[in-house]
Amino acid sequence: MISPRSECALAIATLRQAAQHKLLPVILMSNLQSAPAEAAVNTIVLWKPVKQAALYQALRSIHPPALAVPQVPISSELSAKGSASHAATKRHHPLSILIADDNPVNQRVALRVLELLGYDAAVVGSGVEVISALQQQRYDVILMDMRMPELDGIQTTLKIRQMAQTNSKYREIWIIAMTANTMAKDRQRCYDAGMNDYLSKPINRDALARALERCAAMQKCDRELDR
C-alpha cells in the first residue's frame, strides 16, 4: 500500500515533470494529523484551515526568478467589463499613481490590475524611493505596501504627512494601504498614520476601482465636471 506521504511526494514530482520545472514551488495544505514528515525542496506546508495572511506570506516567500508570473490574456468579456468600462473614466479623471512595494510579483499584480482599470503607474520598491519619487514628480495616489525595507508603509506615510505641513504639493496625496493583515487594529493603525484607504491583499480589481473613485483627485474632477 502506498502511504499518503508517498502519494504526496509522487504528486509533487508529477506536477513538476508536467510543468518541466524541477523546482516548481508547491504549497501544501495539510491537516496537522496528516502532515508530511519533511517538506520537499521548494515546498511550503500550510495547516488547515488556511488563513489569508499565512497564504499571502507563503506566496510572498516564493523567489520571483523561480517561477515566472504568467501573462493572463484578457477575454473580450473581461475587457468590456474592465478596461473598456474604465477607459472613459480615465479620460475624464487622469490619475498619477505610484505603486510602493518591494516584492516584484506584487508589483506586477498591481500593475496588471491597474491596467485592467485603464491606468498606468510608476513603481518603487522602498519607502525611501517613495520620498525620492515625490520630490521629482507629483502623484495623486500611492498604493502603499506595509512591509518595505528602510522605511515601511507607516513610517513613509508619517514622513509624507510631515512634508505636507511645509509644502502644499504633498497635502492632497491619497495613500491607500495594501496589506495581508485584515484585523481592525491593523486598519486603524493605517488610518492613525494618515493613510486614506485600505485594501487587503491579494488586490481585488473592483475594490481597487472603488478606492480610486474615493480619492481626492477623483472627487475634485467630479466637482469640476458637475459645474
From the list 135, 147, 59, 136, the residue with the least C-alpha distance to 102 is: 147
Residues 61, 82, single domain; the answer is no
Output the average pLDDT for the chain.
79
Q: What is the pLDDT of residues 117-176, one digit of tens each?
A: 999 999 999 999 999 999 999 999 999 999 898 899 999 999 999 999 999 889 889 999
More confident residue, 205 or 6: 205
More confident residue, 186 or 156: 156
Residues 201-214: what's their mean pLDDT? 90
Q: Domain range spanning residue 99?
A: 77-226
CATH code of the domain in which 110 resides: 3.40.50.2300
Residues 88, 172, single domain; the answer is yes
How many helices and strands, by DSSP H and E, does the chain display? 10, 7
Q: Is the pTM of this model over 0.85?
A: no
Which pLDDT score is estimated for 4? 58
The Cα 6–Cα 2 span in angstroms is 6
Domain boundary among 23, 40, 66: 66
Q: Is 71 contained in some domain?
A: no
How many C-beta neighbours within 10 Å does residue 47 have?
13
Q: Is 219 contained in some domain?
A: yes
Q: How confident is the model at residue 203 (pLDDT cuts 50, 70, 90)?
A: confident
Q: What is the pLDDT of residues 88-105, one digit of tens each?
A: 444 445 799 999 999 888
Domain count, the chain: 2
Residues 185-205: what's their mean pLDDT? 90
Name the region of 150 (left: φ>0; alpha: ψ -120 to 50; beta: rest): left
Which pLDDT score is estimated for 154? 95
Residues 182, 89, single domain; the answer is yes
